[in-house]
Amino acid sequence: MKTLILALAQIDLALGNPAKNLETARAKIAEAKTRGADVVVLPELWSTAYDLEHAATHASALDTGMFAAVADAARENQIAVVGSLMEMLDGKVYNTAAFIDAREIGGQGGGRGTGPPGAGLAAGARAAAEER
């Protein structure tokens, strides 16, 4: 049985500065891979540091924007990345936890249908997942 190695990225985030946070996240993703990790976990809403005031500006569709940028980093480093980002869907912003591997992006919108970014599952709650 293969052991799955997780890396937890602690990042000093810059409020409302996705470009800077992406640069930092890319470095952490590369570092995790060099240390032998299979998956790196980024903080919640890592790209904006919870800049909810400008959520609509930061949000993008699941296959564009920051989601696509971190997918590029996952492919370049051949590592899976988990973290939440602001997703724009049907004109609403959601705090979406994304699992991004070297091939594709999968997302589970914690806030979909339950509220704005930051809303979602309570501690100990479970969400359904689909097998791919």
Give the list of residues 6+ apart from residue 51 with CB closer than 8 angstroms, or none: 15, 16, 58
Residue count of the chain, please give it. Answer: 132
What number of other Cβ atoms are within 10 A of residue 86's Cβ? 28
Give me the pLDDT at residue 107, please: 56
Does pLDDT of 123 surpass 50?
A: no
Q: What is the mean pLDDT of residues 7-31?
A: 97
Q: How confident is the model at residue 105 (pLDDT cuts 50, 70, 90)?
A: low
The sign of the torsion formed by the CA atoms of 29, 32, 33, 39 equals: negative
Instruction: Give the model confidence (pLDDT) of 60-91 as tens digits.
Output: 999 899 999 999 999 999 999 999 999 999 99
Give the DSSP H or E segment for 77.
Answer: helix 65-77
Q: What is the mean pLDDT of the chain?
A: 83
Structure tokens given for 89? 């869907």
